[in-house]
């Protein structure tokens, strides 16, 4: 009994020694990371027993992105491409995508795929939301091709009522649009109506707006606003329309319901960031502490915000004046003068005698003179006397009319777009 036991023990030792020797002589198996296995299982599917199939275990798909200041060669190196293989891939990128090793924006996404026990056989560079660059490794080296993804275009309508600002009204009503697009649309509408409506001052609680918008969507879900086709604002009961139309005679891209160009000789606001802290009328002076006539409008804005000329004119004063601090006066046609006070500094080249076109940056917001915080003090003077700028500019809203030869085409366009605005699917509807 003891002898047989010793024989069995010796046999076990021999088998164990042989197994150990076999393990030492067998090269280790390279196993893909868990994320790679997960991607492989998704692409091939699990086996009947629940374990990954041999095809899934033998392939990989890795997503990587370029770091800030990182060259493409470093990213390729992380994917296992070095030496001649990396140089060939970089050459193909230069030939097909015009990408150099060090002139690539940070965040560029790259998807690498291939067999798990070798370097990638395919690289896909996501150059933009609608542009891909494919590199494929063959026996003769790397070859590349570019792919343009098609955008799907549709037309949607947005509408809402104003409770405070246009931003908040769009944010509350156009909920199917991404937030970035809602902000972009607010800027587009402000730009279209900037000769007729000061979005920070003319909008009142209860005012209403509508807009017919052409939207594009990329295959990955990214959206963009291509253009506003038509829009309408109801301000204190009065309606102002904007219809997109190309006229052979009149300047401008948008026209009101009567066929007059929205673009005119004067802007309604001297700042692109239109937020007013006080309006024309009586107020308690914030420094002197007494009631006096505030002969202008204050636009609250950050230090350094560009101030633009509201119309073509000539600079007749640029210097320091009493409580205005740094101030610029611009004389326009028909005896109008626009005044810009509390400026931080003047724009380069702006001095007395300078001719400035409408929209040119002439200075920057500050808090010089009698000012407690950064803001722009804006005035309109008529024949030397300060007047309510809102009332003065409202009278100067006339643009070029549609040429007689374009009238019929404009009427057709207006009827078609306004009807579409009435019947378009609202973007505020969830799921659109």
For residue 227, give the CATH number of its domain.
3.10.450.350
Question: Cα 130–135–138 angle (5° rounding)?
Answer: 155
Q: Which one of 92, 120, 148 terminates a domain?
A: 148
**What is the rounded average pLDDT of the residues 326-353?**
95
| Same domain? 141 vs 166 | no
The predicted structure's pLDDT at residue 39: 32
pLDDT level of residue 426 (50, 70, 90 thresholds):
low
Ranges 55-64, 276-285, 422-431: which has the least confidence:
276-285
Q: Which one of 212, 234, 265 terminates a domain?
A: 265
Tell me if 262 sits within 8 A of 256, measured CB to CB: yes
The predicted structure's pLDDT at residue 48: 36
| Same domain? 84 vs 161 | no
Mean pLDDT of the chain: 80
Domain contains 381 = yes
Ranges 14-18, 155-159, 217-221, 288-292: which has the least confidence:
14-18
Convert 201-239 to b/e letters by CB count within 10 Å (16 or more is b). bbbeeebebbbbbebeeeeeeebbbeebbbbbbbbeeee
Q: Which of 309, 262, 258, 268 is nearest to 392 (CA)?
A: 268
- What tokens were used for 34? 């868990």
Domain contains 377 = yes
Crossing angle of helices 179-192 and 166-173, rounded to 10°: 140
- Three-state SS at 126: strand
**What is the rounded average pLDDT of the residues 110-139?**
89
| Same domain? 303 vs 341 | yes
Residue whose token pair is 């948008």: 254
Residue 432 has pLDDT above 50, yes or no: no
* H or E segment to which residue 95 belongs: helix 83-97
| Same domain? 144 vs 162 | no
Q: How far apart are CA 387 and CA 334, in angstroms?
A: 15
| Same domain? 327 vs 256 | no
| Same domain? 291 vs 226 | no
Domain contains 304 = yes
| Same domain? 67 vs 132 | yes
Residue 17 has pLDDT above 60, yes or no: no
What DSSP string runs through 292-310? Answer: EEE-SEEEE--TT-EEE-S
Domain containing 159: what range? 152-265
| Same domain? 167 vs 142 | no
Q: Which one of 88, 113, 148 terminates a domain?
A: 148
346-392 pLDDT, tens digit per residue, is 999 999 999 999 999 999 999 999 888 899 999 999 988 989 888 88
| Same domain? 183 vs 247 | yes
| Same domain? 261 vs 281 | no
Residue 47 has pLDDT above 80, yes or no: no
What CATH number has the domain bearing residue 327? 2.70.70.10
Q: How far apart are CA 226 and CA 222, in angstroms?
A: 13
Domain contains 427 = no
Number of domains forming the structure of the chain = 3
pLDDT level of residue 131 (50, 70, 90 thresholds):
confident
**What is the rounded average pLDDT of the residues 267-280?**
66
Domain contains 43 = no
pLDDT level of residue 329 (50, 70, 90 thresholds):
very high
**What is the rounded average pLDDT of the residues 58-87?**
88
**What is the rounded average pLDDT of the residues 29-36?**
30
**What is the rounded average pLDDT of the residues 207-229?**
91
Domain contains 8 = no
Domain contains 335 = yes
| Same domain? 156 vs 144 | no
397-417 pLDDT, tens digit per residue, is 778 888 888 999 999 999 999
The predicted structure's pLDDT at residue 199: 85
* H or E segment to which residue 417 belongs: helix 407-423
| Same domain? 308 vs 388 | yes
Q: How far apart are CA 368 and CA 325, in angstroms?
A: 5
Domain contains 208 = yes
Residue 232 has pLDDT above 90, yes or no: yes
Query: Rounded to two decimals, what is the model's pTM?
Result: 0.69
Q: What is the CA radius of gyration of the chain?
A: 34
Tell me if 124 sits within 8 A of 136, measured CB to CB: no
The predicted structure's pLDDT at residue 273: 52
């Amino acid at each position: 009994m003891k002898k047989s036991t010793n024989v069995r023990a010796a046999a076990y030792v021999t088998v164990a020694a042989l197994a150990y020797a076999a393990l030492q002589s067998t090269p280790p198996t390279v196993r893909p990371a868990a994320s790679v296995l997960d991607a492989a299982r998704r692409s091939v599917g699990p086996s009947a027993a629940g374990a990954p199939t041999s095809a899934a275990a033998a392939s990989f798909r890795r997503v990587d992105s370029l770091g800030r200041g990182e060259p493409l060669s470093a990213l390729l190196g992380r994917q296992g491409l070095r030496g001649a293989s990396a140089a060939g891939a970089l050459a193909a990128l230069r030939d097909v995508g015009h990408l150099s090793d060090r002139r690539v924006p940070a965040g560029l996404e790259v998807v690498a795929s291939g067999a798990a026990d070798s370097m990638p056989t395919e690289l896909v560079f996501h150059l933009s939301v609608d542009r891909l660059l494919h590199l494929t490794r063959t026996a003769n080296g790397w070859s590349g091709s570019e792919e343009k993804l098609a955008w799907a275009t549709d037309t949607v309508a947005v509408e809402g009522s104003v409770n405070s600002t246009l931003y908040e009204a769009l944010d509350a009503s156009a909920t199917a649009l991404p937030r970035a697009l809602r902000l972009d649309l607010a800027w587009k509408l402000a730009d279209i109506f900037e000769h007729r409506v000061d979005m920070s001052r003319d909008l009142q609680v209860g005012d209403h707006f509508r807009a017919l918008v052409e939207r594009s969507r990329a295959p990955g879900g990214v959206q963009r606003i291509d253009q506003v086709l038509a829009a309408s604002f109801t301000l204190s009961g009065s309606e102002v329309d904007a219809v997109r139309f190309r006229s052979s005679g009149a300047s401008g891209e948008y026209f009101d319901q009567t066929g007059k160009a929205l673009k005119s000789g004067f802007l309604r606001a001297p700042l692109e960031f239109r937020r007013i802290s006080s309006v024309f009328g009586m107020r308690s002076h914030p420094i002197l502490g007494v009631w006096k006539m505030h002969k202008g409008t204050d636009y609250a804005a950050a230090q350094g915000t560009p101030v633009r000329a509201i119309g073509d004119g000539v600079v007749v004063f640029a210097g320091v004046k009493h409580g205005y601090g740094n101030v610029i006066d611009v004389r326009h046609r028909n005896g109008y003068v626009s005044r810009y006070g509390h400026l931080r500094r003047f724009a380069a080249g702006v001095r007395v005698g300078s001719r400035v076109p409408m929209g040119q940056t002439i200075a920057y917001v500050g808090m010089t003179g009698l000012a407690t915080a950064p803001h722009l003090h804006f005035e309109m003077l008529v024949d030397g006397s300060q007047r309510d700028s809102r009332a003065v500019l409202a009278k100067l809203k006339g643009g070029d009319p549609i040429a007689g030869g374009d009238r019929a085409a404009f009427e057709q366009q207006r009827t078609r777009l306004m009807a579409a605005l009435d019947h378009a699917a609202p973007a505020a509807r969830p799921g659109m």
